[in-house]
Amino acid sequence: MEKASKILCVDDEGGVLRAIRRLFQDTEYELFTAESGREGLEILGREEIALIISDQRMPGMTGVEFLEQAKVVAPNAIRIMLTGYADIKDSIDAINRGAISRYISKPWNDDELIILVREAIERYDLARQNRHLTRSLQKKNSELAELSAKLEKMVEQRTRSLQLKVKELSGRDRILQHVLTVHPLAETLQVVLEVTLDVIGGDGAAFYLIDPLTEEMRLTAIREPNGEVALDLSPYNVAGGMVPSVFVPPLQQREIIVLPDPQGITTIASPFPEPCVVVPVRRKERLLGAMAVDRRKIGDMFSDDEVRMIQSLVMEAAIAIHDSLMHEQLPALEESLDQILLEMGK
């Protein structure tokens, strides 16, 4: 059966070691003996000793010297000194220096020694349990702090997501109210750009709509977050105000272009300010153009939620843009119809 605790007895007298071995041979303790301080230190280096009993008068290394070194090697072990009457002064000095907790006078009483050892072992076991509980509590506290930080982050993310959703719904409602009546195209584009910048936040936004005559996507409207139409067109008025041709195929396929690419695989050299999001504007299957939103000054990347929100606002705005385009094209259609009817009447 495995012994509960280990005791080390150090004495240069073999008779003393044999007497202590006989005293504890039928107990639950495992006894180690050493005939010198050096041998005792070697045992401490490889065994978890709960209690050290050492004689004071030993050749080469005194008991006080050994126990002071033992305190460094096994700081948690309880240390007791065996001492004769003439060495009591040394024992008291060892207590004052913290090398031992108490001393036992020679010759000792067996019953008193067994009681003293049992109390020392119980004190050691209690201290060991306390250290274990302290480490366990520290680990639990660390895990709790980590969990709390994760929960706080989740709540923060959830709160931000809800706030973005509220802003998105508010923006969509503003666009929807605008859609209820027909407005000039320029006014509609500015409303959508204003709503987008209010909801998403950015340094600028612009619309590129397809010219019905040339079928090219050109700069049509631009706005900055101060509520004014932007005067600096340079970030958007690239290549004569046209959307780069490399962007047209993705937009035709309903793809959203995010710059710089979050995956880091974009090979397109973008003339747009970055970070930037370019979203196609479509009405059913018809591509009307694209809207670009940038953060060239603050430099923040667009989150997935923000990209989705821009797409949602653009989808809502596509109806108003389509109706405004149709309204503006109505006089030309009427004139064309009148011309057709005139030709038919001849």
pLDDT per position as a tens digit, 220-235: 888 887 765 555 555 5
Could you tell me if 100 and 189 lie in one domain? Answer: no
Could you tell me if 53 and 193 lie in one domain? Answer: no
DSSP-H helix ranges across the chain:
14-24, 37-46, 63-73, 88-96, 110-179, 185-200, 248-252, 304-345
Whether residue 169 is contained in a domain is answered as no
Q: What pLDDT score was predicted for residue 334?
A: 54
Q: What pLDDT score was predicted for residue 187?
A: 87
* Cα separation values, 344 from 156, 221, 337, 340, 341, Å: 69, 40, 10, 6, 5
Could you tell me if 110 and 209 lie in one domain? Answer: no
> Which of 117, 132, 147 is the endpoint of a domain?
132
Q: What pLDDT score was predicted for residue 50?
A: 93
Could you tell me if 12 and 86 lie in one domain? Answer: yes
**Structural domain of residue 295, as residue ranges?**
181-345
**CATH code of the domain in which 29 resides:** 3.40.50.2300
Q: What pLDDT score was predicted for residue 267?
A: 47
Reference 303, options 170, 160, 159; nearest CA is: 160
Mean pLDDT score across all residues of the chain: 82
Could you tell me if 19 and 107 lie in one domain? Answer: yes
Whether residue 139 is contained in a domain is answered as no
- 60 touches 82 (CB < 8 A): no
Whether residue 149 is contained in a domain is answered as no
Whether residue 54 is contained in a domain is answered as yes
Confidence of residue 294 (pLDDT cuts 50, 70, 90): confident
Q: Which residue is it, tokens 């797409």?
A: 311
Would strands 29-34 and 5-10 be described as parallel, antiparallel, or unpaired?
parallel
**CATH code of the domain in which 278 resides:** 3.30.450.40
- C-alpha 45/C-alpha 154 separation (Å) is 49
Could you tell me if 128 and 185 lie in one domain? Answer: no
> Which of 92, 111, 132 is the endpoint of a domain?
132
Q: Per DSSP, what are the bridge partners of residue 51?
A: 7, 78
Q: Name, in order, each residue with C-beta under 8 angstroms of 98's C-beta and a sequence gap of 6 or more.
A: 71
Q: What tokens does 61 get?
A: 């290394």
- C-alpha 200/C-alpha 168 separation (Å) is 8
Q: First CA to last CA across the chain, in angstroms?
A: 121
Residue 87 has pLDDT above 80, yes or no: no
pTM strictly above 0.85: no
Whether residue 66 is contained in a domain is answered as yes
Could you tell me if 50 and 108 lie in one domain? Answer: yes
Could you tell me if 332 and 214 lie in one domain? Answer: yes
- 29 touches 5 (CB < 8 A): yes
Residue 71 has pLDDT above 70, yes or no: yes
Whether residue 43 is contained in a domain is answered as yes
The total number of structural domains that make up the chain: 2
Q: What pLDDT score was predicted for residue 346?
A: 56
- C-alpha 135/C-alpha 140 separation (Å) is 9
Whether residue 107 is contained in a domain is answered as yes
